[in-house]
Chain A
C-alpha cells in the first residue's frame, strides 16, 4: 500500500513535468507567465505556511525577505551594461558593478541572504508572541523597504531595477522552431522541490515539534522542546524560501522597485495561506494556483463594465475587493481553511466508495 502511494506520487510528478514541458512550448507567452507566477506563489505560500501555519508564529514580514531575495538575484544576475543603464542617478558601488553570477547561484545566495536576515531578525523578535510578533515583523519588512529606497548606490533607490535577465527556454524552443518563452521549469522545478522538502520536513521529528509548539507552547516546553531554537529554525527556513520566491519573482517580472514589496504583497500570500488552510501543504498549493489564476481572470473587474443599460467607470482595485471579501467569509465560517475541508470531504467520499 505504501509502495503504491510512492509510485503514484512519482507518476504524478513525471506527468506534471511532461505537462509543463508541453505547456511551455505551445501555450502563448501570457499564459505561460501566469503559470510561472503560480509556481512562485506556491513557494511563497508554503514558506509562509511553515512559519504561520505549522509553527504558529504570526509573522507578517514576508515582503521584506522577498525583497532581499529579489534584489540579491537582480544585482547578481544583471550584466554590466544593464547596470550602468539602471544606475544613472548615482553610480553603483564598483564591487557589485562587475559581479555577475549564473542564475542558480544568484538565486541560492538570494535565499541565503534572506535566511541570514531571518536568523538575525528572528533571534530578538521571536521572544515575542502573537500580535506583538506580527507588529515587529511587519516593522522589519517596512524597514527593509525604506533601507532599500535609501541605499541608492546598491539598490538604485526608488528608481528600481529594470532589465533583469529573463529565464527563457530559447535553447529548446529554438531547436524546434518555436517562439521562446519564460522557462517554466525553473519556477516549477523549485516549487516541486519545495513541496517535497515541506513534506519531508513535516513528516520528521522536527516538523512535528514545530506543530507541537503551535498547539501548546507550555506543554511543548515541558516536553523538553527548546522553543526558541525551534522557532528560529522554522523562521529561518521560511525566510530562505521567501528569498527564493522573491528572487524568482524578480526574474519573472523583469523589473523591481521598493514599492512592490509593500504590505499588500504579504497580504496576498497570507490570503493564499488562510484559504488553503493553516498547516496544510496541498491546500496551500491549490489555493496558490487558484488565487494566482483568479487574480488574472478577474482583471475585467478593474476596467469599466458595460451592463447594457449602465456602464460603470473603471475602478482599479475592485478585483482585490473580491479577495478581501473571500478572506472575510473564510475566516468567519471555515477557520481551518476552505480547501482543507473540501479535500477532507472528497477523501471521505472516496473512502466510502472503496
Chain B
C-alpha cells in the first residue's frame, strides 16, 4: 500500500528524518510514535507531498508507484488524505461546506457547468451533498452543519477534520494526533470510531499519536522514531518491551 525507501529529509543542516524505510500493508492500522521533535509530522508531510524528500522515495498503491515527486493535490487525488496536528479547517466556512469541499477533487464537471447548473453538474453536486450529510451524521455533527467551523469546540473540530478527509474518498488516511486534547471517554469513542470508519470505508490508517492507550489499543503495527531515526518496529507487545523505545521515552542513566 505504502512503502518508504531510504527517505531522508534535511532542512538546511538539520536532518529531520534519516534514511527511513517502512512499509504499510493494505487494511492495517499503523502507528507512528516518538518523542516530540522526532520527525513524525515530517514523515506525514513527505508522504502527502508537502515536502519533497531530500533523498529516497515514497511508493504508493497496488503497484507501488512513485509518488514523492507529485504535488499534494495529485497525491490527494490518488487517495491519500490527512488531518493536521494543529487543526486546519476552513474557519469562516460552514461545517457543511467544509465537508462538501472535501469531495470537490472528484468533481468532473467544469466551472461553467457549475455556474449554469447544467444537469451533469447538479447530479454530481447532489451526490456530493448526500455524501457530506452522511459523513456529518457519521461524526455526529449534522446538527451543527450551519455553524461556522471555528465556532465549534475543539473535539468537534477534530471530528470535522476527519469527516472532511473522508469526503475525499481516501484509501489511505493519515491522522496526525487525532486524540490530542481529548479526555479518556472521548479517546475511547475515538478508538471505536477509527475502527468503524476503517471497516466501513475500507481504509488503511496511518496515525501519529502520543496517547499510548490509543496506539497500543488499535494499532497492529507500530513504528518508533527518535531524532529522525527509526529505532523500533513491531506489534504493541514488542514495542512495549523494546529497550531502545523505553530509553527514548524515559531516558536512561
Chains A and B belong together in one complex: yes
Task: Confirm or deny: B73 has a beta carbon within 8 angstroms of a beta carbon on chain A.
Answer: yes
In the complex, what residues of A have CB within 8 A of residue B239's CB? none
For A222, give its contact among B82, B104, B114, B125 (CB under 8 Å): B82
Q: Does A282 lie at the interface of the complex (its beta carbon under 8 Å from any beta carbon of B)?
A: no
Please report the C-alpha to C-alpha distance between residue A216 and residue B102 in the assembled complex, in whole angstroms.
13
A205 to B108, CA, bound (A): 11
Closest beta carbon of chain B to A283's beta carbon, Å: 14
Tell whether A218 is near chain B: CB-to-CB under 8 Å.
yes
| Contact A215/B168 with A200-B117, A224-B77 known, Cβ cut-off 8 Å | no
Contact assessment for B89 and A208 in the assembled complex, using a CB-CB cutoff below 8 Å: no
Residue of B nearest to A204 (CB): B114
Contact of A208 among B48, B84, B97 (CB under 8 A): B97
Q: A216 with B114: in contact, given A208-B97, A223-B104, A227-B73 (CB under 8 Å)?
A: no
Chain A residues numbered 201-242 whose CB sits less than 8 Å from any CB in chain B: 201, 204-209, 211-212, 215-216, 218-227, 233
A167-221 with Cβ < 8 A to chain B = 197, 200-201, 204-209, 211-212, 215-216, 218-221
- Tell me which of B71, B74, B76, B111 contacts A206 (CB under 8 A): B111
**A216 and B157 alpha carbons, distance in the complex (Å):** 15
Q: Which residues of B contact A220 (CB under 8 A)?
A: 90, 101
B73-A205 in contact (CB<8A): no
CA distance A224 to B102 in the complex (A): 8
* Docked complex Cα distance between A206 and B72 (Å): 19
Contacts of A226 in B (CB 8 A): 73
In the assembled complex, which residues on chain B have CB atoms less than 8 Å from the CB atom of A221? 50, 71-73, 76
Task: State whether B50 touches A218 (Cβ < 8 A).
Answer: yes
Chain A residues lying within 8 Å of B14, measured Cβ to Cβ, are none
The answer to the question of B88 belonging to the interface, with a C-beta cut-off of 8 Å to chain A, is yes
Interchain nearest-CB distance for B104 vs A (Å): 5
Chain A interface (Cβ < 8 Å from any Cβ of B): 197, 200-201, 204-209, 211-212, 215-216, 218-227, 233, 279
B168 engages A224 (CB within 8 Å)? yes
With an 8 A cutoff between CB atoms, is B128 at the interface? Answer: yes
A212 to B89, CA, bound (A): 9
A216 is contacted by which of B72, B74, B76, B89 (Cβ under 8 Å)?
A: B89
A225 touches B104 (CB 8 A): yes
Q: In the assembly, what is the distance between CA of A211 and CA of B116, in Å?
A: 19
With known contacts A201-B115, A223-B101, A212–B73 Cβ distance under 8 A? no
Interface residues of B (CB under 8 A from A): 48, 50, 71-74, 76-77, 81-82, 84, 88-93, 97, 100-102, 104-107, 111, 114-117, 121, 125, 128, 164-165, 168
Q: What residue in chain B is nearest A207 (Cβ atoms)?
A: B114
Q: Please, which residues of chain A bring their CB within 8 A of the CB of B48?
A: 222
Chain B residues whose CB sits within 8 angstroms of the CB of A207 once the complex forms: 114
* B115–A205 touching, CB < 8 Å: no
Q: Complex formed: what's the CA distance from A234 to B76 in Å?
A: 22
Tell me the complex Cα distance, A197–B90, Å.
24
Q: Which residues of B contact A219 (CB under 8 A)?
A: 84, 88-90
A204 to B107, CA, bound (A): 11
Which residues from chain A contact B77 at a C-beta distance below 8 Å?
A: 224
- Give the interface SS of chain B, mostly helix, strand, loop or mixed: helix
Contacts of B168 in A (CB 8 A): 223-224
Q: Is the CB of A201 within 8 A of B76?
A: no
In the assembly, what is the distance between CA of A226 and CA of B49, in Å? 13
Known: A200-B115, A212-B104, A222-B48. 17 other contacts (CB 8 A): A204-B117, A204-B121, A205-B107, A205-B114, A206-B104, A211-B90, A215-B89, A215-B90, A215-B91, A219-B84, A221-B73, A222-B73, A223-B101, A223-B105, A224-B81, A225-B104, A225-B105
A235 to chain B, nearest CB (A): 13
Bound CA span A201–B111, Å: 8
Query: Given the interface contacts A223-B168, A224-B77, does A215 sit within 8 Å of B50 by beta carbon?
Result: no
Chain A residues with Cβ below 8 Å from B74 are 224
How long is the Cα–Cα vector from A223 to B165 in the complex, in angstroms?
Answer: 7
Q: Tell me the nearest residue of chain B to A211, going by C-beta.
A: B93
A118 to chain B, nearest CB (A): 14
Contact indicator B76/A233 (Cβ below 8 Å): no
Bound-state Cα–Cα, A139 to B116, Å: 34
A-B contact pairs, 22 of them (CB 8 A): A201-B114, A201-B115, A204-B121, A204-B125, A206-B111, A208-B104, A209-B101, A211-B93, A211-B97, A216-B88, A219-B90, A221-B50, A222-B50, A222-B72, A223-B102, A224-B73, A224-B76, A224-B81, A224-B106, A226-B73, A227-B73, A279-B92
Residues of A within 8 A of B82 (CB): 222
* A221 vs B100: C-alpha distance when bound (angstroms): 15
Q: How many angstroms between the C-alpha atoms of A166 and B5 in the bound complex?
A: 69
- Inter-chain CA distance A157–B125, complex, in Å, is 50
What is the bound-complex CA distance between A218 and B73, given in angstroms? 10
| Known A-B contacts A216-B88, A222-B48, A222-B82; A205 and B128 likewise in contact (beta carbons under 8 Å) | yes
Measured between C-beta atoms, what is the minimum distance from A42 to chain B in Å? 18
B81's contact among A212, A218, A223, A227, by CB below 8 Å, is which?
Answer: A223
B149 to chain A, nearest CB (A): 9
